[in-house]
Chains A and B, each alone.
Chain A
Amino acid sequence: MTDIGLGGRTRLDRDRLLRLLQDYGVHLGVAVLLLVNIAITPHFLSAENFRTQAVQVAPVLIVALGMALAIGSEGVDLSVGSVMALSTSLLSLYLGYGMWIALLVAVLGGAAVGVANGALIAYIGVQPIVATLALMVAGRGLAQVLLPQLKDVHDPTMASLGSGDLLGIPYLVLIAVALALLVAFVVRRTTFGRQLLAIGDSRPAAKLAGLPVRRVLILVYVCSGALAAIAGVLATARLTASDPTSLGNLMELSAITAVVVGGTPLSGGRVRIGGTVAGAVLIQLLTATLIKHDLPPSWTQIAQAVVIILAVYAARERGRR
């Protein structure tokens, strides 16, 4: 838009305002939804309610953190939902050895899928969307081969992981917050984080600069796989059942939505962890609002679509800048 009528200063202000809106629009969205809900939703302002929303958003958020890393490296990880299913299968299969061993096996399984993803992308040069699509199909299949049907989890440690709390804050939420802080730290303060962003910005340039592109890419997908596996374990703990058929269904889309709505550009080179957290919370609040007011389920999908379109519109403006 070249508006000649406006003075330079006004345009600068407008640009700044637009940029602020793009960067913090998602936070604004969360704030607006909170205010609207406080005003119109009965029993919204209760600790129990916030607890429910936080517990429900935790697995999505953890998956979205890994997704943010993949998107930051100018890729995407479609296999996260299947990794959750795989992790719940592995968890159930190994629970006989105790929770910690089972948890370790589940996370290793997720990491292994990550290695496969990363190797396909970094060494063979398959497009991330295709490579992870392959693992998405294979992972779900493998999960169902390992555990053909839903199985209840009786392990008391798992049950307390799913529903217990520390000082009133559920373990699930604490784990999600800790992981978000960890990922934010990794992205901002470590060599790996910088390398990841450089690769996302421009892979040829990163290569020319002598960065270990392949190793970093593999590590990115290993992180994404491991995080998805953790989310799978937590979701299993909450449900106290392993359900590889439906666990993690469409999770990749929720995660991508959270990341994109949170202001991380799909073109890579930038990761906004705070925005991703807000993005996941925004979608959760939106869904909760519509469910609490008993609006038809199809509305939820439409509302999510509107939010995604708005986010993509903002991203377009950002790209033009």
Chain B
Amino acid sequence: MKPNIFLRRTSGRTQGRASASTLLAVGLAAGLALAATGCAKSEDDKSGDSDGSKSSAAEGDAGQVVSSPGAGGGKSCVIGDYGAKKLDLKSATVGFSQSEKEANPFRIAETASMKAEAGKRGVKLLTANAQSQFSKQISDVQDLIAKGADLLVIAPLNSDGWEPVLRQAKAKHIPIVTIDRKINAAACKDYVSFIGSDFVEQGRRAADRMIAATGGKGEVAILLGAAGNNVTTDRTKGFEEQIEKKAPDLKVVFKQTGEFAREKGQQVTEQLIQSKPGIDGIYAENDEMGLGAVGALKGAGKKAGDVKIVTIDGTKNAVRGIVDGWIDGVIESNPRFGPLAFQTLDTFTKGGKVAQDIVIKDSAYTKDNAESDLGKAY
């Protein structure tokens, strides 16, 4: 470094520019936001399903039922035990607290399903979205109670930390149904019932699909979800147990995390097909990673069907992947809790018996029904 180079520029600087630049910096972000949306012209979605999720959620609702009547044969709950009063659902106000922002297909379909069912039944529905902040969800629910909700449906962000809300609801005798995640409290005492999917069972069904696709022989890889997540643990457990039990010749030779994201799923699969070119199947614990795997296989010059892919969730993109021949099966994780939630509340408030744990029926997509049921995917 020669100092003379630095000395070449000796221009003085005006100090008054500081405030102007402050304004510039602050204004930039706002300006960018405005400019970005002002004249944006996004690419046409060829599939034309940009607003299809809502209609399809309503469409799919029709087929939603409880997984098996036997599942309800466990503990049940009646209104007397809970300490609430009978009321007519039609004239009641239901509050729905959504946990995460509606940025992924699951949450979009879930909220849409609640709204659609409330509309169908003519029930007044108040909704709130916690935007993935637990403290906001607590105050959301308290707001809903304050606004006069007679019944509550909660999609909890966390399982713990609900005591203040539960106490408040208890004081007002408001029945609570939680959907998709459980809260750590006593059923039929602190809340009425939980409606959700059985993730272990989803893993088992994915394993069945994989066994059918590969003929029960060969080597398969697992793209794990995010570490330390109960969905990941359960979907892995179900899959591995079922493979071990039903198809001992099918070996799991690779288990790496794709963190539920498409990009990670693609990167990991690229490494996988290089080091194990003979891999027969890939089990992705969500659709996004499965689609990433499809991208990696395409990039490596494989053909559709060379490697069997089974995923879980049932998003539109993945089901379209079955139609295209790249994905072999998609096990649905049903987000359409609306009908079941309202049905449960209806039965309960009329004085009927409802199960404390209700498992929602998840359907599945294969080559046979992918094309016809594409509209049902969310």
Chain A positions near chain B (C-beta within 8 angstroms): 41-44, 46, 48-49, 52, 56, 89-90, 92-97, 105, 109, 112-113, 115-116, 119-120, 122-124, 138, 142, 144-146, 148-155, 163, 191, 194-195, 197-198, 206, 209-212, 214, 235, 238-241, 243, 245-247, 249, 288, 291-294, 297-298
Contact = CB atoms under 8 A, between A and B. Distances in A.
Nearest to B320: A152
Given A112-B28, A212-B11, A291 B256 contact: yes
Given A119-B22, A214-B13, A293-B275, 4 more contacts: A142-B32, A153-B43, A191-B5, A209-B7
Contacts of A235: 263
A244 B338 CA distance: 29
A209 B2 CA distance: 13
B105 A149 contact: yes
A109 B36 contact: yes
B272 interface: yes
A123 B14 CA distance: 11
B321 to A, nearest CB: 12
Interface stretch (B71-79, B242-250, B292-300, B361-369): B292-300
B18 A148 contact: no
Chain A: interface secondary structure?
A: helix
A146 B298 CA distance: 29
Nearest to B3: A209
A210 B33 contact: no
A285 to B, nearest CB: 11
B254 A210 contact: no
A198 B25 contact: no
A246 B275 CA distance: 26
Given A191-B5, A194-B6, A239-B295, A94 B274 contact: no
Interface in B261-302: 261-264, 266-268, 270-272, 274-275, 277, 288, 291-292, 295, 298-300
Interface of B: 1, 3, 5-13, 17-18, 21-22, 24-25, 28-29, 31-33, 36-37, 40-46, 101-105, 108, 224, 227, 253-257, 259, 261-264, 266-268, 270-272, 274-275, 277, 288, 291-292, 295, 298-300, 317
A48 B271 CA distance: 10
Given A191-B9, A239-B262, A291-B272, A94 B41 contact: yes
Contact of A95 (B1, B42, B295): B42
Given A145-B33, A291-B272, A119 B25 contact: yes
Given A97-B41, A124-B18, A209-B7, A243 B46 contact: no
Contacts of B264: 246
A56 B267 contact: yes
A43 B254 contact: no
Contacts of B104: 149-150, 245
A296 to B, nearest CB: 8
5 contacts: A48-B274, A48-B300, A113-B28, A124-B22, A138-B29
- Ranked 5 nearest A-B pairs via Cβ: A96-B41, A210-B10, A119-B25, A292-B275, A95-B43
Given A119-B24, A206-B6, A211-B9, A94 B42 contact: yes
A154 B42 CA distance: 11
Given A115-B25, A243-B263, A92 B103 contact: no
A96 B46 CA distance: 12
A291 B268 contact: yes
Nearest to A56: B267
A46 B271 CA distance: 12
B32 A198 contact: no
A43 B277 contact: yes
Contacts of B275: 41-44, 291-293
Nearest to A162: B299
A146 B11 CA distance: 41
Contacts of B18: 123-124
Nearest to B26: A116
Contact of B1 (A145, A149, A197, A241): A197
B270 A52 contact: yes
Contacts of B256: 291, 294, 297
Given A145-B33, A235-B263, A212 B17 contact: no
A92 B43 contact: yes
A206 B44 CA distance: 51
